[in-house]
Amino acid sequence: MKTDDFIALLAAQTPPVDQHAPARRFALAWIAGFVVALLLMVLLLGVRPDIEDAVRMPTFWFRLCYAGAIAAAALWVTARLARPGVRVGGAWAVLATPVALGWVAMGWVLAHAAPGTHLPLILGHTWRVCPILIATLAMPAFVAMLWAVRGMAPVRPRLAGAAVGLLAGATGTVAYCLHCPEMAPPFWSTWYLLGMLIPAALGTLVGPRALRW
């Protein structure tokens, strides 16, 4: 048998590639991470007791959309970094947009705040624990998304690890929003972002090993 005929025979016996497998893998990993983060939030922290009143406040939804938008953009960046030869391109700008809007909201609030209230608006009452709690809630999604990305053969594992960590941090932040009593934009545009950056830094460190293939 000629070589070309042998290759054609092998190719004919290869099962078709499931084009939707990567999307299912990512969806499964993110949903699992988010569900476990919610369970941890409920079991360890508890939903804020005034949640029924909080959901009537626009700042509650602005804060939730802030974390959700970062999570969605980070998922897009992660999905592109997970596939060899795919450029991130404009996804970086999309990821930066909610962060920038949060800073704009912080600047507007601080500019209109009474003298002497700026630091309390930034620190709130929970600034010491907020980033650590977010990073803790992010760990289920962090582990799950590392598993998802590892199966995609990323060629930039350090950057992909950072994107995984940011996605996990934003996922944990969405869950944390149901517990956190802090509503002021200067607080959450500072400390929520720091909480997301902790797993992002962790992903930068472990990415070259955890995503090696």
Which pLDDT belongs to residue 10? 47
Which segments in the chain show pLDDT lower than 50? 6, 9-10, 17
Place of tokens 């949640």: 51
Say if CB 192 and CB 173 are below 8 A apart: yes
Name the residue among 70, 112, 107, 122 with its Cα closest to residue 92: 70
The pTM is what? 0.88
Which pLDDT belongs to residue 17? 46
Q: Domain boundaries in the chain?
A: 21-210
- CA-CA distance, 142 to 157, in Å (whole number)? 14
